[in-house]
Structure 1
């Protein structure tokens, strides 16, 4: 589906996502018109989903990150749907993942400090529906944070 030119475009986009199209075309050794056509084709195919701002939340005063691994009460028929809908409403939940196995859901939660996290945990997270078990893991360090693909 992708040829070498498409892969070159994707590598350049990953290396410098803020480049203007004219600079990206130059780095990919294409004309701006050709680059635009290829990008549009990759967007239509769902390969390129868009650009997004990556915000460094510690710079905004969020110093704590906690990963919660939750097991839901699966005897309730709408356990997943109800839980996920409610979890999406908690602003401090920055990521939600679902799994097959003993752990059903993982939430990444940010807070300004430990007292703020405790407040979020008690008032917002423990009140989420259908929780059977919770394990909290305090984030210490991010060793690798790279979404670039080897294209």
Structure 2
């Protein structure tokens, strides 16, 4: 674990809001030099605190108006390896995330679709035909707010 000072926390908050900000822009906003900001970012990356930076796409603006969270329970854990299931489900283009979880279901899967009938097609033709799939529960996303967790 790395010791974080107030500037590290400020930098992490700023990057969690907009990871596309340049070191120069961050330096100007927070009163540091660009090289000092670069060194801090590099230190945070090397320590594993900054895992990755990515662009978040607006699925709805791209024509995917429905997001569904699936709870997937494998029917026969012993017959189909978890790796085989994970490899098969992540190959489906509409699947955004696959999380192996502990609880009632074995996996939580985030799926995007153009509309409900498109989701039904993905569910019936792609997901339900995967090896080992047993029970599936679907929860349609109504709204979502991004709320980054506490920082250090």
1:108 to 107, 110, 130: 110
Which residue of the partner structure matches residue 67 of structure 1? Answer: 69
RMSD over aligned CA atoms reads 1.7
1:87-125 CA-partner distances (Å, limit 9, x unpaired):
110010011111112211011111111221111111110
In structure 2, how many angstroms separate the alpha carbons of the residues matched to 1:49 and 1:75?
Answer: 31
Query: 1:148 offset after TM fit, Å?
Result: 5.1
Contact 1:70–1:105 (CA<8 Å) still a contact in 2? yes
Residues 23/121 of structure 1: CA separation in 2 closer, same or farther (3 Å cut): same
Which deviates further from its counterpart, 132-141 or 101-110?
132-141
Q: Would you say how many aligned residue pairs link Structure 1 and Structure 2?
A: 150
Residues 9/138 of structure 1: CA separation in 2 closer, same or farther (3 Å cut): closer
1:50 to 49, 52, 77: 52
Give the SS at the match of 2:60. Answer: helix
What TM-score does the superposition give when structure 1 sets the normalisation length?
0.89
Which residue of the partner structure matches residue 93 of structure 1? Answer: 95
In structure 1, how many angstroms separate the alpha carbons of the residues matched to 2:120 and 2:8?
Answer: 47
Structure 2: gaps spanning 5 or more residues: none
In structure 1, how many angstroms separate the alpha carbons of the residues matched to 2:79 and 2:98?
Answer: 20
Contact 2:12–2:151 (CA<8 Å) still a contact in 1? no
Query: 1:127 offset after TM fit, Å?
Result: 1.1
Residues 75/119 of structure 1: CA separation in 2 closer, same or farther (3 Å cut): closer
Query: 1:84 offset after TM fit, Å?
Result: 0.7
Query: 1:24 offset after TM fit, Å?
Result: 0.3
